[in-house]
Amino acid sequence: MVLETIYIARHGFRSNWLPGPVPEPPTGINSDNVLAPHGLDQAKELAIHVSSLEKKPEALFSSPFYRCLQTSTPIADALGLEILVENGIGEWYKPDRGIIPEPASLELLLKFFDNINTEWSSLITASNKGETEGEIFARTQQFWKRFFPKFEAEFPKIKSIMFVCHAATKIALGMSLMGYSGVRDQINFKGEKYLRSGACSLDTYTRDSAEGKWEIEVNGDTSFLSQGEEMSWHFIDKVEAGSDEDIKLRREAAEKAAHEKDSASVDQVSQEEEIEDFYVTIDVPTAELRASISSSQVPSHPSQVHQNFSLYHAPSNRETFKKYVYEGEAGSSNNNPLITATASASQYTPTSKMQITGIGTGKPLAKIDNFLFQGDWKQLVGTELVFSEKGEVIAKVNNHIELIRGELITSEQFEARKHDALAGMSLYRRALTIAREREGVAEPGIQIQGEQTGEQEGEGEGEGEEGEEGENAEEKGEINMNDEDIEMTQD
């Protein structure tokens, strides 16, 4: 067999696919609709594409229906070919259809198209009683069996041919050509399960010279069309391609999609109306606490932090100082987690990510990277202006949120930190702290909350003296003492 390439195309956009009055068929045959102006444009685009192919068709076959001959005409003109009319690739009509149209004769078609080759005789004519899916597939199987011997006998040197037909026929021709058993079989070609059949879409099949099998190379190409794929159809859609029922279902689906889109737009507008732009200045601490603060300066309440604590401004200093632990108020009054104010230099940058919650509460919480902050609303002295990227004033800010560096910790973590705090004190200070804790007197330095041990209280306040309290605490493992712990301090 000399034949190597077969192109199969569907006709262009039909006039009855558009709303409004449908032009009467020139042939007077039922459903022999003409192309819409858009379909004529598609036919021209298809012709330009086909004429640019490396392997151009050397023979052009068309279904006898008007729309297919209209689609074939620009191709024939571009390639300098005559159109061979073949009834075997005509339209598919279901048996339950009211009227089964019969195609026009060559004599009638020659009144409208002057480039028809009258020497080709059709091989098969579709049943005038309609066809089932199985019957149209059988029709195309029989067509190929008769076509190849006759074509090679009449055109022995032609290697590439093209057919212009209908969606159902295009699919049935392709599936039978590739050796499948039915029109609903899956081809699984480049992610596609079925043959595509948009208006003026083009399939390409090539023959394996070694095995003699035909394989698909291009499935329903519409890349050359300005509007892309339109009106694609398959047998799984159950209705006839391009029929009134098909168009009705498509319009209903389009109206439903448009209604859902409009509803979504209305909902979006409603949601947007409920959104109000909110501007607030957030003060992020850029310096930490001075390490040399004496114990008498440590506040007993977090609200005193910025009043009593001196700030250590040393942006280039990365030394980490001692931590001061105190009980703070974050969240609700019934929940007093502990906050650790550190003396390390800031580890966040202007590009750090910020998250903030509880903006409508009196104590919002913020997180910058992995650092936690508790916020406090403050009244600004004066007003801050907010500018757009164009330099326009878009808002005025009268309040700001002042963030305090900290972290939420559990009671277990607090007990561990209490132990660390005691271990870092001198012997005198540890004894004094524990003694005052048991007496219910708060040490002015670090707030420690713990249970009473029930041990006998010692003096514990002599200069450099250990006292019974210190001994008992050491025996219980609450104090790790060594020579470095001893510090002489004037009380």
Which residue did the predictor score with more confidence, 103 or 257? Answer: 103
What's the chain's average pLDDT?
A: 75
Residue 284 in contact with residue 373, Cβ under 8 Å? Answer: yes
DSSP 14: B
Q: What is the mean pLDDT of residues 167-195?
A: 95
Neighbours of 486 (CB within 10 A): 12
Select, from the ranges 74-83, 207-216, 340-349, 455-464, the one with the highest average predicted confidence (pLDDT). 74-83
Domains of the chain: 5-242 (3.40.50.1240), 281-406 (no CATH), 411-485 (no CATH)
Q: How confident is the model at residue 401 (pLDDT cuts 50, 70, 90)?
A: confident
311-312/365-368 β-pairing: unpaired
Q: Is the pLDDT of residue 20 over 90?
A: no
pLDDT at 413 over 90: no
Is the pLDDT score of 5 beyond 80? yes
Residue with the larger pLDDT of the pair 167 and 446: 167
Q: Tell me, what's the pLDDT at 240?
A: 67
Contact 235, 184 (CB under 8 A): yes
Q: What are the tokens at 69? A: 């001959």
Report the percentage of the chain scoring pLDDT > 70.
65
pLDDT at residue 445, as a whole number? 41
pLDDT value at position 471?
41
* pLDDT value of position 453: 35
Confidence of residue 119 (pLDDT cuts 50, 70, 90): very high
Q: Which of 461, 6, 465, 470 is nearest to 204 (CA)?
A: 6
Q: Is pLDDT above 60 for 234?
A: yes
- Average the pLDDT over 188-204 and give the result: 95
Q: Rounded to an integer, what distance in angstroms lies between the CA atom of residue 84 and that of residue 406?
A: 86
pLDDT at 425 over 60: yes
- Answer positive or negative: Cα dihedral of 416, 418, 423, 427: negative
Over 70: is that where the pLDDT of 265 sits? no
Q: Is the pLDDT of residue 322 over 60?
A: no
The residue ranking higher by pLDDT, 133 or 464, is 133
- The tens digit of pLDDT for each residue in 430-439 reads 777 776 666 6
User: Residue 164 and residue 90: Cα distance in Å, rounded?
Assistant: 9
- Name the helix (H) or strand (E) containing 419: helix 411-423
Residue 249's pLDDT band (cuts 50, 70, 90): confident
Mean pLDDT on 371-388? 78
Over 60: is that where the pLDDT of 212 sits?
A: yes
Pick the more confident residue, 120 or 436.
120
Grade residue 411 by pLDDT with cuts at 50, 70 and 90.
low
Measured at the alpha carbon of residue 123, what is the angle toward residues 119 and 127, in degrees to the nearest 5?
Answer: 130
Please give the average per-residue pLDDT across 312-334, as a whole number. 33
The yes-or-no verdict on residue 225 having pLDDT over 90 is yes
Task: Determine if the pTM surpasses 0.75.
Answer: no
Helix (H) or strand (E) holding 256: helix 244-274
Q: Is the pLDDT of residue 203 over 70?
A: yes
Residue 232 has pLDDT above 70, yes or no: yes
Question: 26 pLDDT band (50/70/90 cuts)?
Answer: very high
Q: Write down the pLDDT at residue 286.
A: 62
